[in-house]
Amino acid sequence: MKNCFLIILLFGWVTSCQFFETEKISTETFYEEELKTINWQDVDQYPAFSQCENTSEKLAQKACFERVLSTRIYEYIDSKKIVAQRELNDTVFLDFSIDRAATLSVNQIKMDSLLQNEFPKMEQWLQESVDSVTIVAPAFKRGIPVKTEFRLPIIIKTQEL
């Protein structure tokens, strides 16, 4: 009888529910913890032009995007056949964003007043060059299209006539 009672007690202890319970995490807690692990300052995939779509490495995507965009801007400015009265070597900073629908828009153009005096239409030309660009895909973060912001330096270098 003692052995039977001991076996029943041992069986009850081993099969007790509290030993087999797992800690339950609410979906809100899981979501908040997951959000903390995401680096929101970086994207998984950069915006793409048609020439850059097949590039899979992230740094190569960014380099291709910047190269194609700056080439198109330089080509547009070069098409204006502008002539400078003096020698200039300056940098224009173009701050722009690309929304979730892959629409590129200029946020701000920062340039020196000397450059602005030499080329009063430079801001307009930069805006027009950006408006003529078509991006085929926005940036992605975890498979979701996201808005991104960039700063592109544009070097303006002229020679004195």
Query: What are 101-147's pLDDT values in tens digits?
Result: 999 999 999 998 888 888 889 899 999 999 888 899 999 988 889 99
Domain membership flag for residue 37: no
Q: How far apart are the C-alpha atoms of 50 and 76, rounded to whole Å?
A: 19
Higher pLDDT, 3 or 84: 84
Domain membership flag for residue 26: no
Domain membership flag for residue 42: no
At 98, is the pLDDT very low, low, confident or very high (cuts 50, 70, 90)?
very high
pLDDT at residue 71 in the model:
92
* Burial (0-12, 13-18, 19+ Cβ within 10 Å), 149: exposed
Residues 79 and 126 sit within 8 Å (Cβ to Cβ): no
* Burial (0-12, 13-18, 19+ Cβ within 10 Å), 141: middle
Domain that holds residue 119: 50-157
Q: How far apart are the C-alpha atoms of 82 and 79, rounded to whole Å?
A: 8
Domain membership flag for residue 7: no
pLDDT at residue 97 in the model:
94
Q: Domain total for the chain?
A: 1
Higher pLDDT, 76 or 86: 76
pLDDT at residue 114 in the model:
85
Query: What are 19-71's pLDDT values in tens digits?
Result: 555 666 677 776 677 666 766 667 888 898 888 888 878 889 899 999 999 99
Domain membership flag for residue 146: yes
Strands 148-157 and 144-146: unpaired
Domain membership flag for residue 29: no
Which tokens belong to 100? Answer: 């979730």
Residues 99 and 137 sit within 8 Å (Cβ to Cβ): no
Strands 144-146 and 89-98: unpaired
Higher pLDDT, 2 or 30: 30
Mean pLDDT rounded to a whole number for the chain: 81
pLDDT at residue 118 in the model:
85
Domain membership flag for residue 15: no
Residues 104 and 96 sit within 8 Å (Cβ to Cβ): yes
> With 90 as the cut, is the pLDDT of residue 96 above it?
yes
Neighbouring C-beta atoms of residue 139, cutoff 10 Å: 26
